[in-house]
Amino acid sequence: MFVARSIAADHKDLIHDVSYDFHGRRMATCSSDQSVKVWDKSENGEWHCTASWKTHSGSVWRVTWAHPEFGQVLASCSFDRTAAVWEEIVGESNDKQRGLSHWIKRTTLVDSRTSVTDVKFAPKHMGLMLTTCSADGVVRIYEAPDVMNLSQWSLQHEISCKLSCSCISWNPSSSRAHPPMFAVGSDDSNVTYGGKVQIYEYNENTRKYGKAETLMTVTDAVHDIAFAPNLGRSFHVLAIATKDVRIFKLVPMRKESTSTGPTKFEVQIVAQFDNHNSQVWRVSWNITSTLLASSGDDGCVRLWKANYMDNWKCTGILKGDGSPLTGSSGQPSAMSTVLGSSVQSSQNALNGMSQKGQLE
Amino acid sequence: MGFAWGPGDILVYETLYKASGASGSGCSFIHEIRKDEDIYSPILRKLFNESHHIFVGLQTIREELPSKSKKPQFVSISKNYRSVIRACMEELHFGSFFKFLFYSLVSILLAIELIWNLCEVLFIDAAPAGSLLLHLLDWVRLHKADVDERAREVLQSESPAEHHDYWDVPGGTQTLTEFDVKWRHWHEEVDRCMQDNSFASNRHLEVICKILLGDEDTLLDHKELLGTWYHFLVTRLLFCHPTVKPTELHYYAQSCMTMFLDSRSVSEPLDNILLAAFEFDIHQVIKECSIALNNWWFVAHLTDLLDHCKLLQSHNLHFGSNLREFLLLEYASGLFTHHSLWQLAVDYFDHCPEFGRVYLELQIERVPLETERKALKVLRICEQRQMSEQVRSICKIMAMRALRNNRLGSALSWSIRAKDAAFATLISERFLQDYCAKGTFSDLDLIDNLGPAMLLSDRLTFLGKYREFHKLYGEKRFREAAKLLLSLMTAKIAPQSFWMTLLTDALPLLEQKEVIFTADQTYELMFCLEELTSSLNITASSTDRPMQEEDVEVTKVELLRLALARNLAQAIVKEGTVET
């Protein structure tokens, strides 16, 4: 079922974030060693580091790619209270031969007074927009009006969320029925009050983002948050990484024609999994929103899938080194003893119980 | 511990994440996990390719034909699928050098074919009582390839006479009841022979007789020859209830399985699947298969076929989709991760009416565009399906990539294809800047053959027309060139920033021995020059340009004024002269 490969990352300290580019052929990693590395995947599937450079004067928390329509652009955010935008420039021919590329800083966003905890690009249909959130609870939305000039960014919105923010996620839906929307998660550890996830929506009339919903049932610190790809549905699906994995469904309620405020939502909890039995740090959806992956302090990555009756179950568990966890629920049973004879298999392809790990 | 979900089911994650505050490790690791290794096997690729062909053929069977006449078609399609499975097995078993490695794959394919064949017999062909048993016999026979041939012979060849009559079974000449009567008569005969010890002398013959009577104990004694409980079932049916009806099957199946498996407490997944089939519980069959097998190939294709036979009641998913579509979407999505099989997936999405399109839209824009050729292939697929946003996006990505690599011609053609006026304008500007800097155009072929695409953006139109001017000049068609040049300014196609260059281009035409610009045209040129200088004067006063640059500009203007004046004079004279 899985084949694992190890890549020696060569960062001198903890890695905090790994991000794929849109096509999955490039990868960026960032670390407490204050640097960002960019990796390219070659024809034979091997990853080569093509750039490595110091980006900040503090730990780099997150790194993210812009949509390739804007070129090869990265954004990073750091403990040093700044976020930066980087662009790859086509290098000299001998550099190319050696497989190296150069990234230059286009801008530094210095508006935050505290550590910037997340940086994300907005969906491409909104233009080239970058969002940051900080430990002091401020979310900032910047826009580059001229996509060919990445050194000019203007601060379009500054939203105070009152709670220390740890993560943001934009709703990827480009449907005209859905105004731009993002969710912010807070890692504030005081569990006496809820509302650690807030949803903000753009209001055409006020031309500002207003709070549309607060998920009061989320009382523990939120580490990651992710909207699922929309697929033309009328409702939204949001996954949250907190002390467990939670999936929420947000159903927009019909607006009266005279209403000028944000959309009202009916919030339903679709699933809640505490299998990690520890803090869950990341959640991420696959492209078609059919699979959710989560990782936690138990050192495992779990995969969650809904069957055709829309019941969510765990379909796979991976340990820290990429090997599957055997004897776990939700792992497909082998058809290997089908003819009543014992089967020697070193590669049970269709069933994939075994895995081969290759060290690079 | 953290991770990132990549497109194409590739999962990467970092170790030594926050929590435990790992001791400052110098070299942390990232693990890349890839699912669905099986689609990389070349033999399976053949399975996917050929089954894709059958699938597409199945979708195009006309709906309006009555089900009755479609049944043989469906059976034939089912047989096609099975022959593809068998072909793969053959290749793996006999062809592959590493057949030891593929042994488990072969056994899984065998199981799949076994299940499919049974489904074909019970559901698709829907054999009625009488021929049902024959089909089941064929089914079991086909899958006993690994049973000792000799043993089979022993079991069946000893009493040719009795068998001879037996095989003259409901076919054309007798009805089921007629056959039943005959069979009972024969059965009683054999029983009588047994009772009065006709075969007492020959122990062997006695055993065979007992088998013919369907004596369970005797049959069970020969368990190892039968091999499986379903062989036992069919054998027992053969000798006890040859006219078994489909609805009665599950009674016998359950009891046979229990009798045969009494030593083992747990039944294998395969057993459960077959049992569900005998119980005609199609949904259960599909559900069990989905659980037991990792790859969606089997359940997706089988369910699709059963759906075409109208055998599935549709459960409504909360999206409004049904089981068939769910499975096909899963299967096709899995194919999309492969660098060449993704093209097969497109057809599957096309035949999923509810979500096929949106799934395709989401996944096709993630296909890496390593080469122009691949990009064009992806584009063709999108254009055929009017996926205009994806077309625009892919073209934009390619245009951007070309621009970054300074391949202006490629960037321009991609932005034209993307119908991206803004980008086309930008690239045209670059072309013009290049021209001003170097004095020549790059990518002449492209610009010369723009055609109606020229109209995408004003700047692009200007670029095209300007190039046309150069061509005319090169072909010494001076009058036409002159006219075009003038129109570029008077029709405001040229941006004013470029007028100076245009006027400078006019100089050689003004300096020709022969008068090219008419008097009227010359007046217009002068007007343009004045317009330009007055606007420049306004700006010049507010900006401080270096003295040298201003000098050059002033000289240019002076030269132009002189040339224009001279031309005007000559033109007036020429136009005023009467030809004698």
pLDDT at A258: 65
Query: Can you give the pLDDT of all 580 residues of chain B as single tens digits?
Result: 777 777 655 666 665 544 333 444 444 677 777 665 555 477 788 888 999 999 999 988 866 666 667 788 899 999 999 999 888 888 776 665 555 556 677 778 888 888 899 899 888 888 787 778 888 888 887 776 543 443 444 445 444 434 433 444 444 455 677 777 777 887 787 777 777 766 666 777 777 777 777 677 777 776 666 677 888 788 788 778 877 788 888 888 888 888 777 666 567 788 888 888 888 888 888 888 888 876 788 999 999 988 888 777 655 444 434 888 889 998 998 888 787 889 999 999 999 998 899 999 999 999 999 899 999 999 999 999 999 999 999 999 999 999 988 888 899 999 998 888 889 999 988 888 888 888 777 777 888 888 888 888 888 888 888 888 888 888 988 888 888 888 888 888 888 888 888 888 888 888 888 888 888 888 888 888 888 888 877 655 545 556 666 777 788 888 888 888 888 888 888 888 877 6
A339 chain-B contacts, CB cut-off 8 A? 107, 110-111, 146, 228
Note whether A340 contacts B227, CB cutoff 8 Å.
yes
Task: Give phi and psi for A249, each to the nearest 5.
Answer: -115, 130
Q: Which of A11, A308, A329 to mutate to test the interface with B (most CBs of B within 10 A)?
A: A308
**Strand-pair category, A357-359 with A2-8:** parallel
SS (H, E, C) B92-135: HHHHCCCCCCCHHHHHHHHHHHHHHHHHHHHHHCCCCCCHHHHH
pLDDT at A301: 84
pLDDT at A342: 19
**Pick from B357, B308, B337: which is nearest to B123 by CA?**
B308
DSSP string, B245-273: -GGGHHHHHHHHHHHHTTT-SS--HHHHH
A231 chain-B contacts, CB cut-off 8 A? 355, 358-359, 362
Strand partners, A132: A119, A140
| Any B CB within 8 A of A20 CB | yes
| Any B CB within 8 A of A13 CB | yes
Note whether A339 contacts B333, CB cutoff 8 Å.
no
Counting runs of H as helices and runs of E as strands, what totals does chain B give?
A: 28, 3
B362 chain-A contacts, CB cut-off 8 A? 229, 231, 287-288
Angle value at C-alpha B453, between B451 and B456, nearest 5 degrees: 145
Q: What confidence tens digit (pLDDT) does each residue in A148-204 have?
A: 999 999 999 999 998 999 999 999 998 888 899 999 999 988 877 778 999 999 998
Domain A8-90+98-159: give its CATH code. Answer: 2.130.10.10
In angstroms and rounded to an integer, the radius of gyration of the C-alpha atoms of chain B is: 41
pLDDT at A115: 95
pLDDT at B96: 55
Note whether A148 contacts B13, CB cutoff 8 Å.
no
Contact between B156 and B144 (Cβ < 8 Å): no
Q: Find, in chain A, the residue whose alpha carbon is nearest to that of B33.
A: A4
Note whether B7 contacts A338, CB cutoff 8 Å.
no
Task: Tell me how crowded residue A160 is: count the other CB atoms within 10 A of its CB.
Answer: 10
ipTM comes to 0.85
- H/E element, A170: strand A165-170
Note whether A351 contacts B13, CB cutoff 8 Å.
no
Q: Where in chain A is the domain with CATH 2.130.10.10?
A: 8-90+98-159, 161-325
Instruction: Read off the tokens for A360.
Output: 């690079």
CB nearest A24 (choices: B8, B103, B146):
B8
Note whether A347 contacts B101, CB cutoff 8 Å.
yes
Q: What confidence tens digit (pLDDT) does each residue in A304-320 have?
A: 988 777 789 888 887 76
Q: Which of A62, A150, A303, A338 to mutate to test the interface with B (most CBs of B within 10 A)?
A: A338
Query: CA B50 to CA A347: how far, in whole Å?
Result: 24
**Pick from A2, A5, A1, A3: which is nearest to A358 by CA?**
A5
How far from B360 is each of A287, B59, B395, B398, B499, CA to CA, in Å? 11, 18, 17, 20, 49
Instruction: Read off the tokens for B307.
Output: 């759906």
B333 chain-A contacts, CB cut-off 8 A? 288, 290
Q: Which residues fall within 8 angstroms of residue A144, CB to CB, at 6 or more apart? A: A127, A128, A129, A130, A150, A152, A153, A154
pLDDT at B64: 63
Note whether B368 contacts A25, CB cutoff 8 Å.
yes
Domain assignments of chain B as residue spans, ordered by start: 2-18+26-34, 37-152+177-349, 368-452, 496-579
> For chain A, first and last CA: distance in Å?
20
A24 chain-B contacts, CB cut-off 8 A? 6-8, 10, 366, 368
Note whether B3 contacts A10, CB cutoff 8 Å.
no
Strand partners, A250: A236, A267
CB nearest A351 (choices: B29, B41, B294):
B294
Q: How far is B532 from chain A (nearest CA, A)?
A: 28
Q: Is the dihedral of CA B98, B101, B102, B107 positive or negative?
A: positive
**Strand-pair category, A60-65 with B29-35:** unpaired
**Strand-pair category, A116-121 with A154-160:** unpaired
Low-confidence ranges of chain A (pLDDT < 70): 1-2, 91-99, 256-259, 320-360
Q: Which residues fall within 8 angstroms of residue B135, CB to CB, at 6 or more apart? A: B121, B125, B127
Note whether A339 contacts B107, CB cutoff 8 Å.
yes
Note whether A24 contacts B26, CB cutoff 8 Å.
no
Note whether A338 contacts B270, CB cutoff 8 Å.
yes
Note whether A5 contacts B31, CB cutoff 8 Å.
yes
Note whether B14 contacts A9, CB cutoff 8 Å.
yes
**Pick from A243, A225, A221: which is nearest to A184 by CA?**
A225
The interface residues of chain A toward chain B in range 135-174, judged by CB-CB distance below 8 A, are: 148
Q: Find, in chain A, the residue whose alpha carbon is nearest to that of B27.
A: A10
| Any B CB within 8 A of A214 CB | no
CATH architecture of A161-325: 7 Propeller (2.130)
Residue B455 amino acid letter: L
Strand partners, A245: A241, A273
Residue A331 amino acid letter: Q
| Tokens 């021209």 belong to residue | B435
Q: How far is A284 from chain B (nearest CA, A)?
A: 6
- H/E element, B316: none
Instruction: Read off the tokens for B125.
Output: 């062909």
Strand order in the sheet with A73-78: A60-65, A73-78, A83-89, A102-109
Task: Tell me how crowded residue B552 is: count the other CB atoms within 10 A of its CB.
Answer: 11
| Any B CB within 8 A of A59 CB | no
With H, G, I as helix, E, B as strand and everything else as coil, classify residue A3: strand
Q: Which of A12, A120, A314, A350 to mutate to test the interface with B (most CBs of B within 10 A)?
A: A350
Indicate the length of chain A as a whole number.
Answer: 360
**Pick from B291, B325, B284: which is nearest to B308 by CA?**
B325
* Chain A with chain B: Cβ pairs closer than 8 A: 257
CB nearest B359 (choices: A2, A31, A288):
A288
Angle value at C-alpha B511, between B508 and B513, nearest 5 degrees: 120
| Any B CB within 8 A of A18 CB | yes
DSSP string, B535-564: HHHHHHHHS---HHHHHHHHHHHHHHHHHH
| Any B CB within 8 A of A189 CB | no
**Strand-pair category, A181-186 with A197-203:** antiparallel
Query: CA A165 to CA A115: how far, in whole Å?
Result: 10
Task: Tell me how crowded residue A47 is: count the other CB atoms within 10 A of its CB.
Answer: 20
